Every structure is written in C-alpha cells, then in structure tokens.
Structure 1
C-alpha cells in the first residue's frame, strides 16, 4: 500500500482534506492523522477515516459493504467500501480489485465463474445513462489496479419489495403481479442490451436489482462476475433470471420443507422434476401450489425446473414468452385463467 507523495494536488493536501472532512462530517469527526492512500492493492488495510485518492479526487472511507450469499447473511466485502466524495459530499461505493474463480453447477452444466474489474469497467461505459443499471466510472490507482467508483443507490431490493404486496398470494397475484412482471420484463430487456453487445451480467440475483428510491425504477448492480461455458454463452444469466422470476411469481420462496409442514397433501404430489434446477429445495412448478397461475406463465417457470428438457438460450426467447404471458394477464380477469 502506498502513501500519497508530497506532490499531491492542492485539493488533497492534509490541510485541505481536514477542511473537506469537517465540511461533510463535522469538525469533531476529523481524524487527528490523515491517512492518504493512493495504492489500493492491500484493501484489507484500508479502513474507516482513511482517504483514498483516485484520479486526484479524495474519498473518505466509511465502512465495508456487506452482502448475504448462499444463505450466509451479512458477509463483509473488504474490497467494497462505502465512502464520501470529499469534492461534492455524495455517497459512493468504491470497488477495489479483487480476483477469484469458482465453479457453479446448473443441472449437468458446469460454469467456470470469475471476478473481473475490467469487465465491470466495460459495462459501466456501455450502460452509462441507462436508468436500469447502476452508474459509475472506472479509474486506476497508482499501482494500476482497476477501481470502480459507483453512485450509491438508496432503496430496497425488488425481492424485498414484493414481500409486502398483497394480503395473500391470491391478492398479490391478482392485483400486484402484473406490474411486477412489467418491471421484470424491463429488467430482462436491460440484460438483453448487455447480451446484444456480447457482454454478460454474470451475477444476476434477486438482491442485485434495487428499486431506486428517487426514480422508483429497479436497477441492476454488480457486474464484475463473468463465466465461461463453451455451449451456453448466456446460460448462467438466463438461469439466474429464471430464479428471480419464480421468486416474483410466488412472492417469495416456496420450499419443499415448508410444504411438507403446511400443505402435506401438495407435498405428497411433488416429483423431483418440480423443483428448481439450481436450488433443489425450492419449487419451480408453482401451479401445483397456486392452481390459478395460467399455464402459459407456469410453462416459463418449468424451463427452470429440474425436469426441464428445453432451456432458454437467448434473452429474446425468454422475453417473447414473458410478453405473451403478461398480455394474457391483461386480457383476462383474475379467476378466469387456466
């Protein structure tokens, strides 16, 4: 980790930084020693009240971001820092260079996944000005590490927002799901934009679509994952979109374990083909629980079930089926769908 040299621009001298910090967090919160960092290689050592200078612009570090993943809540992401832009006082997410690789399995398919700051930097350029994606820019620190500076999005995830909709699933399905599907279709169109340019999102998850409190629109975040697969270029993105769709139609996860407790007669009629192809404890064939789900919509969900024989290979295929199913919801009154 490097320390800023004495040739720092005037706006990044310790004296000027103290003034800026006092302006944004208060004079009583100004640290005694200003630790100025220009090399972010050892991100574990970048801590609260440090000042990271990127492209001659100072950012006051506040904390590590946290994220739940694979059932483990609130994991610290030491390479992702929340910070205050000391030039304008805005909140930023500073994503530092962190590389990793792992394999992910979807049925019989194995995807080699990797984290790539350069990929995320490309996508930030591609989606600049697009309201369906997080916004930001990339730069390099003094050691050449690719750092992304992201505008903070305040709001709930799409997944969290649907949990409070409707007094029951039937009420949710009748009065809220059509607008939820409209939102989801727009989000799928946004992913199609990436695919049309030869890019992938790589980490599509229901907590990676955040409803912006200011605009009211859901926006995709976190594009730094990628994956390799010789036969299915966009497959992992599409399976991940399917997981979100099943969740949205069900207004949450419907698990086999819960059904065995609350509806044993339904659980008894389930087969291995009915569960999610990735998460085998979650139901994908939702019509077995909610018989009022129209066949056309449920048929889309079955593409993501363990018993699926045909999968979506391109985003436009999924979009075409979604738009057709959505039009049926608009044409028929609830209770008349089959």
Structure 2
C-alpha cells in the first residue's frame, strides 16, 4: 500500500488531520516508541494509533498506559484497544502473606479465547506481530466504570440502600457468577477492582475487563480474586468505602459509632477500611453484613472459593426480594 493510499484510508476513518509521514510498526516490542499518528500492522490488519489509554482508578485519569493503545481499525473504522506485551511484577501483602503478582499477556489471550461470545467479559482476539509478541485486539465497551456508577448516585445512603442497591446487587450477582465460572475453567481474573467492571451504556450489562494480571499464592489460588469481589460488594453496599480517617473527621455523621469500632471490624486486606458496615448503617441486612465480615481482620473463616462466597451472597440477595418497602 502506498503512503498516499494509506493517508487517504486513514482520513476516511478519522476527522483529524493525518501526519505527512506515517510510521508503520510491525514489531511492537518497543511500545514506548509507538506514538499517536503511527500505524501498527499485524497479521494483515492495520490499525491507526490515536493515543494511549489511561489508568482510571477512583474516577480519575492517571498515568498513561503506554502499552495500551487506542486505535482505529482501518478495515472498518471501528475504535478498538490494542494491548501490547508488557511485563511487570510486584509483591502485595495480605495480612502476613506476601503474594507475587505479575502481568501475563498470554494468560489474558487465553481468557479472551475461552470467554468468546460471553458478554459478561470484554471481547477480543490475539494477533502476533513479526517478533511473535501477542497483540490483543479488544472491542471497546462504552459506559462508566462501576466505581463511577455508584460514586455518582446523588442521594443519602439509606435512600440508596432501599431504592437503588437491590437493583445494583442484581447485576453484581451476574458479574460475580461470571468470576465463579471463570474459576471453574481453571482461570483467575487477577485484578478485580471497581474500575475493571464496566456498565455498558447500550445494554446495562456489567462486564469485566483487563485479565492480564495473575498471582502466585500457594494454597489460595483464588484468594486475591475473592478479596477483590469482597471489596466491590463493600463499595456497593456502603455507597463508597468508609475509612477510619473519614469516620474520625469532624464532619462525619458517624461520630457516635467510633467508640464501638474495633480492629476486627476493618478489612484484613486494607486495614483502614471498615468492613462491618452495620455499625454505621444499622438497617443493613445481617445476611449481607455476614458476607462482608468474612473479609474482616476478625474473621475466623475466610472464603476459599467463589462457590462458597456466592452461596452466602445468594442468601443475602433473597432477603432483599422479601424486603418491606422503606416508608417515609
């Protein structure tokens, strides 16, 4: 394809001016060198790079993820995400446990293949560049993160709990069952967070994204995923997280609860985060609070499987079906 033809093709699919000189990358090893205005050619497919995706934790755009490119598929003009091979590792601490976490592009490729057509998960395919690097071509999901969905609900907690939370929990149950099914395939998500669950605009579905992290925790192969599910449930039930710092604030409405709080009421995973929500929201269903307390520092028993987690959460969910509507 001539440069002139390539420029015309790009111009057909983007309203922005096209650079005079377009670099075409067939080896994505040095992903930092691939910039907006370049093209990536892989397995007879051509993608025009518009920029990088950003890490969006806590509702804010953070650092650019240089290995994750926002692109236009020059075959049909659709916007896609290309995830290039990037390897990093670190250790996380859970109580006294030290757990190695690392990125595995091949693991994400495997999950994409195994969850094809399962709309509870992001969809995509893996292509390989000339250096045999895996290039994951991801279908973009339009919609807010679960974090933004809950964070932006404009009402007090009690109204939210009775009027909004049951509907949210209905969708969360489907998303949590998706993780249980993933575990039964012998896979893990690896990085379950509130911003890795997208609420699709067009369908309202809750869909999981980003599967390239994995971890090594001997004896607890699903442990980090389970604590991730617990944190999402906590965030949903509490309409946000409630930390000891926030609870001690002079503006906090929970001053009266402070003398009742104990170390065992807080998260084993994040010690400053309150798990025992019933101490600040007394109307919270005991069946729901019981699930949350399995992730607290004072727990005698922790969940070892998503099946156990879902069995208890099913009991809590059914209690909402019988909930007497909250009066004025």
TM-score (norm 2): 0.95
RMSD: 1.7
Q: Contact (CA 8 Å) 1:292, 1:335: kept in 2 or not? A: no
The residue number in structure 2 matching 1:329 is 320
Match of 1:22 among 8, 11, 19: 11
The residue number in structure 2 matching 1:60 is 48
The residue number in structure 2 matching 1:86 is 74
Inter-partner Cα distance in structure 2 for 1:71 and 1:278: 21
Q: Contact (CA 8 Å) 2:90, 2:102: kept in 1 or not? A: yes
Match of 1:264 among 250, 255, 265: 255
Inter-partner Cα distance in structure 2 for 1:31 and 1:165: 43
Query: Unpaired segments of 5 or more residues in structure 2?
Result: none
Per-residue deviation, 1:334: 4.7
Deviation per residue, 1:214-251 (Å, 9 max, x gap): 22111000000001111101111001110110000001
Correspondence list, 1:1-338, <5 A: 10=1, 13-26=2-15, 29-69=17-57, 74-165=62-153, 167-261=155-249, 262=252, 263-334=254-325
TM-score (norm 1): 0.92
Per-residue deviation, 1:264: 2.3
SS of 1:29's equivalent?
Answer: coil
Per-residue deviation, 1:70: 8.8
Per-residue deviation, 1:72: 8.5
SS of 2:260's equivalent?
Answer: coil
The residue number in structure 2 matching 1:7 is none
Query: Unpaired segments of 5 or more residues in structure 1?
Result: 1-9
Q: Contact (CA 8 Å) 2:58, 2:147: kept in 1 or not? A: no
Alignment length, in residue pairs?
324
- Compared with structure 1, are the counterparts of its residues 29 and 70 closer, same or farther at alpha carbon in structure 2 (3 Å cutoff)? closer
- Compared with structure 1, are the counterparts of its residues 72 and 216 closer, same or farther at alpha carbon in structure 2 (3 Å cutoff)? closer
Q: Contact (CA 8 Å) 2:242, 2:273: kept in 1 or not? A: yes
Per-residue deviation, 1:110: 2.3
Inter-partner Cα distance in structure 2 for 1:295 and 1:215: 32
SS of 1:74's equivalent?
Answer: coil
Q: Contact (CA 8 Å) 1:111, 1:236: kept in 2 or not? A: no
Q: Contact (CA 8 Å) 1:20, 1:86: kept in 2 or not? A: yes
Deviation per residue, 1:239-285 (Å, 9 max, x gap): 11101100000011111111112132212221111111122221110
Inter-partner Cα distance in structure 1 for 2:283 and 2:133: 53
